[in-house]
């Protein structure tokens, strides 16, 4: 799809009644696949938001490139298929991503959420889920992002540069690392006595709000991409 053409997202949703029958929720449930390499606190925030009905959707599989990722353990505890896909078993990144696409399709995933996933996706993967991949970054993009900007490095760079406001960003994933259309940003004030660790902790709390919110908007069909901009449409009555 041409990224300059407004795209209604998503049209692949499965209609179903919400358990509580609450009228204000749109009666659709999306199927979410999460890719994670680490502790999975964002994954947990997404799972919890699905369970309590905030997101009209469910996490249907969690895939990791690390056998010991705690994210996989979190998935198992929730009874969600937890899949370790070993990168050393594939000859190229393309082959690895090809298998990822297959698994996500086998689980009929509507939306792919990257939550601390440490591998850069190939164009093949991005094409297969065009406008249906989200990522979260612990800074206000386009600052402090791109290759090599992850984990505490981001917060150290923020403090070294001396900015007074940082935050987190949820964005759609395109071929350019961290530079896809921005869905939501939440600011966090930098404090005089902040360390990379303290800042990371406060930003993470905001991440746990921002990610479920972005997914909810997607699930409700309220995100419209126009070039670089993501318009948030009013709720459907």
Q: Which positions touch ligand GRF (CB under 6 A)?
A: 36, 38-42, 115-116, 136-138, 204, 207
Alpha carbon 112 to chain centroid, angstroms: 7
Shortest Å, Cβ 230 to ligand GRF: 18
| Shorter beta-carbon distance to ligand GRF: residue 122 or 169 | 169
| Shorter beta-carbon distance to ligand GRF: residue 25 or 66 | 66
Shortest Å, Cβ 137 to ligand GRF: 5
Shortest Å, Cβ 45 to ligand GRF: 8
- What positions carry a catalytic annotation? 137
Rounded to whole angstroms, how far apart are CA atoms 35 and 98? 14
Q: How far is CA 141 from CA 82, 144, 172, in A?
A: 30, 7, 12
Q: DSSP string of 105-163?
A: HHTT-SEEEESS--SPPPHHHHHHTTT-EEEEESS-TTSS-STT--THHHHHHHHHHT-
| Shorter beta-carbon distance to ligand GRF: residue 146 or 227 | 146
Shortest Å, Cβ 101 to ligand GRF: 21
Residue sitting closest to ligand GRF (CB): 116
| 3-class state of residue 90 by DSSP | coil
- β-bridge pairing 133-137 and 57-64: unpaired
Measure the CA angle with vertex 167, ends 29 and 222; round to 5°: 30
| Shorter beta-carbon distance to ligand GRF: residue 59 or 115 | 115
């Amino acid at each position: 799809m041409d990224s300059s053409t407004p795209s209604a997202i998503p049209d692949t949703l499965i209609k179903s009644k919400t358990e509580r029958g609450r009228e204000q929720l749109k009666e659709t449930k999306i199927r979410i696949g999460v890719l994670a390499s680490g502790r999975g606190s964002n994954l947990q925030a997404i799972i919890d938001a699905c369970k309590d009905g905030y997101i009209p959707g469910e996490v249907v599989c969690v895939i990791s490139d690390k056998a010991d990722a705690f994210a996989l353990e979190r998935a198992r505890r929730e009874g969600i298929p937890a899949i370790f896909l070993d990168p050393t078993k594939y000859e190229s990144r393309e082959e690895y991503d090809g298998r990822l696409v297959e698994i996500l399709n086998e689980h009929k995933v509507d939306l792919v959420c990257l939550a601390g996933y440490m591998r850069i996706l190939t164009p093949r993967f991005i094409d297969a889920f065009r406008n249906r991949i989200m990522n979260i970054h612990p800074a206000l993009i386009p600052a402090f992002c791109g290759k090599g900007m992850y984990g505490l490095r981001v917060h150290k760079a923020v403090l070294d540069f001396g900015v007074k406001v940082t935050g987190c960003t949820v964005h759609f994933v395109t071929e350019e690392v961290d530079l896809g259309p921005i869905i939501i940003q939440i600011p966090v004030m930098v404090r005089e006595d902040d360390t990379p660790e303290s800042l990371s902790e406060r930003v993470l709390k905001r991440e746990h709000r921002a990610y479920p919110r972005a997914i909810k908007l997607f699930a409700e069909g309220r995100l419209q991409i126009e070039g670089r901009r993501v318009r948030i449409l009013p709720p459907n009555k």
